[in-house]
């Protein structure tokens, strides 16, 4: 099997660079005329799968919006991941897991293994130290999966940690990007990506990453093509995955309307493929 990085490059070249979320937020469930329970979440996910399966490079279910419904919600998430991956659509589980030792190993086996929650990639938090991610990084490499490491998030509270300057003169966010770049050294295109908010006013230098850059905050949160261009060096633009959720999902439950809005956003970011 090709590495996640290789498969992602091939998928974005074919479908476009946009990563679309599946976020069954209670407000969206209500707007779509669905019940705020596991049955409503299942219908929501089914509509999203119909709209996005085989039409987009990367789909990102937000795990948090499935968890409130207990085993029923997790069962929906399992089926959603299974159906998407079975058709060849890449799945990024937005779980933001981060811990140490055997606990991190268990998270890695859950999201990067061959079990029912196993996805093509998972988001992780490095703020117990980048080294704490070792179980996820090791399993991802062994299983040809990917990892997206939170580096510079757009929430105001993130700066309390991420923009702190360490003894070596780098911000913590920059050190995270640099560690991820080391993981990708020698690859044609690495499978360890970073998360950088599209609404930031400044971002860490990603020029040496040689891996994917997930940029949430596009659309409803204010990010767009101009902000991406301002934050990412031109030579790295092909690595950017603009992540959209509400901007597309608010067009539901019409499958045709969801696809139309997604296609319009793909057109806005067509420059990332050049």
* Neighbouring residues of 257: CB distance < 8 A, sequence distance ≥ 6: 251
User: What tens digit of pLDDT does each residue of 236-267 get?
Assistant: 999 999 999 999 999 999 999 999 999 999 99
pLDDT > 70? residue 274: no
* pLDDT the model gives residue 1: 73
Q: Which carries the bigger pLDDT value, residue 154 or residue 44?
A: 44
Which residue range forms the structural domain that includes residue 181?
A: 4-273
Q: Is residue 96 among the annotated active site residues?
A: yes
The CATH number assigned to the domain holding 175 equals 3.20.20.70
Q: What is the pTM of this model?
A: 0.97
* pLDDT the model gives residue 223: 87
- Decide if 104 contacts 136 (C-beta within 8 A): yes
Number of domains in the chain: 1
- Computed over every residue of the chain, the mean pLDDT equals 96
User: Binning pLDDT at 50, 70 and 90, where does residue 219 land?
Assistant: confident
User: What tens digit of pLDDT does each residue of 131-162 get?
Assistant: 999 999 999 999 999 999 999 998 989 989 99
Q: What secondary structure does DSSP assign to the chain, as a single string?
A: ---HHHHHHHHHHHH-S-EEEE---HHHHHHTT--SSHHHHHHHHHHHHHHHTTTSSEEEEBGGGTGGGHHHHHHHHHHHHHHHHHTT-EEEEEEEE---HHHHHHHHHHHHSSSTT--SEEEE--TT-GGGGHHHHHHHHHTT-EEEEEEE-SSGGGHHHHT-B-TTS-BHHHHHHHHHHHHHTTSSS-SEEEEE-TT-SS----TT--S-EEEE-BSTTSB-HHHHHHHS-GGGGGGEEEEESHHHHTTTT-HHHHHHHHHHHHHHTGGGG-
User: What tens digit of pLDDT does each residue of 48-81 get?
Assistant: 999 999 999 999 999 999 999 999 999 999 999 9
Point out the catalytic residue in the list 2, 43, 60, 96: 96
């Amino acid at each position: 099997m090709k590495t996640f990085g290789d498969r992602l490059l091939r998928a974005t070249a074919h479908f476009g660079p946009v990563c679309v979320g599946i976020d069954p937020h209670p407000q969206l469930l209500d707007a779509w005329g669905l019940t705020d329970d596991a049955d409503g979440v299942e219908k929501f996910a089914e509509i999203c799968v119909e709209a996005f399966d085989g039409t987009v490079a990367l789909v990102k279910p937000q795990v948090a919006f499935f968890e409130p419904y207990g085993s029923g919600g997790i069962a929906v998430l399992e089926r959603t991941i299974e159906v998407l991956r079975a058709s060849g659509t890449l799945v990024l589980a937005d779980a933001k897991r981060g811990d140490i030792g055997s606990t991190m190993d268990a998270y890695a086996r859950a999201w990067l293994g061959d079990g029912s929650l196993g996805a093509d990639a998972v988001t992780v938090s490095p703020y117990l130290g980048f080294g704490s991610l070792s179980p996820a990084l090791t399993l991802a490499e062994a299983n040809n999966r990917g990892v997206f490491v939170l580096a510079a998030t757009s929430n105001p509270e993130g700066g309390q940690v991420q923009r702190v300057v360490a003894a070596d003169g780098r911000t913590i966010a920059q050190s995270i990007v640099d560690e991820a770049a080391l993981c990708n050294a020698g690859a044609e295109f690495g499978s360890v990506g970073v998360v950088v908010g599209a609404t930031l006013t400044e971002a860490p230098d990603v020029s040496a990453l040689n891996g994917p850059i997930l940029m949430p905050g596009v659309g409803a949160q204010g990010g767009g093509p101009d902000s991406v261009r301002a934050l990412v060096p031109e030579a790295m633009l092909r690595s950017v995955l603009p992540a959209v959720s509400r901007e597309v999902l608010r067009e539901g439950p019409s499958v045709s309307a969801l696809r139309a809005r997604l296609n319009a956003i793909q057109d806005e970011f067509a420059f990332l493929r050049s």
